[in-house]
Structure 1
């Protein structure tokens, strides 16, 4: 039998008088370190459904799906895939839509469906081609961000009229038919259709 070295004896003695490096989790609560990256917490009021977080999520834990019939954008987050990298928080355009918790760290579950979260946002649909423009909350956020400069866009003016009822709908709303015309600028149309209108009336 090989006799223990002095270094090993020293470590054994020190381990008897020094506190443990690990905690007895889950029997004892664990206190995360400062700037710990825990579960992402989404604020529905501050999230505008812009898809930025899904575009930067490395494992693809965030997915977006547009339902044109119901005019909603469905956002699903799978925390079973989340690697807690913080990219969603860092790139959030509002700066408040998602924050990584420094307290919630234990999300282990036997049922993976428990780790799924679903969120819905109302969509803005082009009345001409039926394309998805963005969510209404996203456009409202851009209004607040840009201030008066936002109303250089006809789309923003038309949406503002819907909200404030500056003019009666029957006075400015004309169904898009027989191709795009000048009058269609006062409908909710996507930038692509608006460009076609401007090209038509310019040449």
Structure 2
């Protein structure tokens, strides 16, 4: 029979009289350590729906669906899949859209649907091909970030006109029909449609 060594007996005696290292949660409240990474909390006012967090999420806990008919982007966050890696927080373009809470960590539920949250953002859709450009909040954030340089883009100028009403509706709201024309570059169109206009009328001189 192999007897325990003195070192092992010493550790056993110390462990017997040493308080438990783990907390007694949920019987007693648990206080997380500093910089603890808990549930990602979304600030809807600072989230612009740009899809960055969905693109960097390793377990694909964040997914997006663009409902073109309703004109909204539906963002689904499944915290049951979240591994609390913090990639969404680190790559958020606004720096405030999502933060990992150091207080919310108990998310054990019997119904997994309770760990799913949905968020909607209004889309900016091409008036010609109906392709999704981005969310309106995303583009407005770019305006604030870039300042006057943002309006070197025709799309941004058109949005600025809609916001500030610099021109009358009858001067700008022209229906797109019979293919893209030069005038259509002043409508809300996606980069691909704008390229068609520029190549056809400005570069080739058609």
**In structure 1, what is the Cα distance between the partners aligned to 2:66 and 2:2?**
70
What's the offset of the Cα at 1:2?
5.9
For structure 2, the 5+ residue unaligned runs are: none
After TM superposition, the score normalised by the length of structure 1 is: 0.96
**RMSD of equivalent CA atoms:** 1.2
The residue that corresponds to 2:110 in the other structure is 110
Provide, for residues 78-127 of structure 1, a one-character-per-residue CA deviation record: whole Å limited to 9, x for no partner.
00000011111111111110001111111110000000000000000000
Equivalent runs, 1:1-203 vs 2, <5 Å: 3-202=3-202, 203=204
Q: 117-126 or 10-19, which moves further after superposition?
A: 10-19
**In structure 2, what is the Cα distance between the partners aligned to 1:29 and 1:201?**
69
Provide, for residues 25-81 of structure 1, a one-character-per-residue CA deviation record: whole Å limited to 9, x for no partner.
111111111211110000000000000111111110000000011000000000000
Q: 27-36 or 124-133, which moves further after superposition?
A: 27-36
For structure 1, the 5+ residue unaligned runs are: none
Provide, for residues 5-24 of structure 1, a one-character-per-residue CA deviation record: whole Å limited to 9, x for no partner.
32233223212332211111
What's the offset of the Cα at 1:173?
1.3
Q: How many matched pairs?
A: 203
**In structure 2, what is the Cα distance between the partners aligned to 1:71 and 1:46?**
20
After TM superposition, the score normalised by the length of structure 2 is: 0.95
Moved over 6 A (4+): none
What's the offset of the Cα at 1:168?
1.2
Q: 7-16 or 190-199, which moves further after superposition?
A: 7-16
**In structure 1, what is the Cα distance between the partners aligned to 2:2 and 2:192?**
81
**In structure 2, what is the Cα distance between the partners aligned to 1:4 and 1:150?**
74
